Amino acid sequence: MKALRGGLLGLAIFQGLSTLVGMVELLLAPQWFAPMLRGTPFAELTWLAALLLGVVVGGWQWAAVVVHVRFRKRLPAAHTVAGVVMLGWIAGECLVLDSFQWMHALWGGIGAIQLVLVIAYLGAFMPETSGS
């Protein structure tokens, strides 16, 4: 159980830091993303993409970290929401960009692992102990 909690915390911190790095990159070097964003609603709105990534998506990860540390009983709910938001972001990003790249597999995969760890934390993979 302790390993699952540690894994969830580590993934949330990694995802939170990743979104912060992505936000800073989008704000400071939008030209890096210009070819990828060409033809999308965010082509001229990289600041908005940065805020959505860093504040909204990353915010849920950081909220999961805070809940994890301060409100342990709500840990499964917080990590579930954070994982679902990450998967939704990745799916939406792939749809908006009309492409799928290795980084989508990485961060989407980590979001999926976050959800699987929550399921394991809740005991879904434990053998049934009652006789019914």
- In this predicted model, what pLDDT tens digit does every residue of 24-34 receive, in sequence order? 999 999 899 88
Would 130 be classed as within a structural domain?
A: no
Would 83 be classed as within a structural domain?
A: yes
Would 115 be classed as within a structural domain?
A: yes
Would 129 be classed as within a structural domain?
A: no
Model pLDDT for residues 28-63, shown as the tens digit of each residue: 998 998 888 888 888 889 999 999 999 999 999 999
- Residue 13 burial (C-beta neighbours within 10 Å; 0-12, 13-18, 19+): middle
Q: What pLDDT does 44 receive?
A: 86
Q: How far apart are CA 18 and CA 24, in angstroms?
A: 10
Would 8 be classed as within a structural domain?
A: yes
State how many domains the chain has: 1
Would 73 be classed as within a structural domain?
A: yes
**61 token code pair:** 């990860």
Residue found under tokens 């993303």: 33
Task: Name the residue range of residue 83's domain.
Answer: 2-121
Nearest to 7 by CA among 63, 64, 53: 64
pLDDT at 129 over 90: no
Would 88 be classed as within a structural domain?
A: yes
Residue found under tokens 């849920």: 60
Would 128 be classed as within a structural domain?
A: no
DSSP 8-state class, residue 40: S
**26 token code pair:** 């989008």
- Residue 70 burial (C-beta neighbours within 10 Å; 0-12, 13-18, 19+): exposed
Model pLDDT for residues 78-98, shown as the tens digit of each residue: 999 999 999 999 999 999 988
Q: What pLDDT does 88 receive?
A: 95
18 backbone dihedrals φ, ψ, rounded to 5°:
-60, -40
